[in-house]
Amino acid sequence: MSEDCIFCKIANKQVLSDIVHEDEHVVAIKDINPQTPVHLLIVPKIHIPSMDELRPEHSALLGHIHLVAKSLAEKEGLEDGWRLVINCGPNAKQTVFHLHVHVMGGRPMMGQMA
């Protein structure tokens, strides 16, 4: 845990948040500034600052995050499609330096991903 990390504090129940899923590895919350009708964040309970700090021992956690994302998308009724987004670093607009995955959907997405 990083003492000043907001996501560490949420995962450790030191800061209240709208939790939609929790298990031993991750917590999923509603984004406080949603960009789509459904905008959830999946946050690992261990502090990993960004994708740049991933190591081989994190591979099971990443797989688990993807399965949680699929489950959440199903629960939210996103049968017409949904998007996963991971921002890595300041140029990608990562604002909280604790790895987290955005699950977004509920409307057609703008633009194309190349």
> Each residue of 21-48: pLDDT tens digit?
999 999 999 999 999 999 999 999 999 9
Domains of the chain: 6-105 (3.30.428.10)
Q: Which of 61, 49, 62 shows the shortest CA–CA distance to 8?
A: 49
Q: How confident is the model over 75-102, as a mean pLDDT?
A: 96
**In the predicted structure, residue 19 carries a pLDDT above the cut 70:** yes
Catalytic residue set = 100
Q: Are 94 and 87 within 8 A, CB to CB?
A: yes
Q: Which of 35, 25, 23, 28 shows the shortest CA–CA distance to 10?
A: 28
**In the predicted structure, residue 112 carries a pLDDT above the cut 90:** no
Report the pLDDT value the prediction gives residue 44, as an integer from 0 to 100.
98
Indicate the pLDDT class of residue 1, thresholds 50, 70 and 90.
low
Report the pLDDT value the prediction gives residue 43, as an integer from 0 to 100.
98
Q: Edge-to-edge strand order for the sheet containing 82-85?
A: 19-22, 26-30, 38-44, 101-105, 82-85
β-pair partners for 14: none
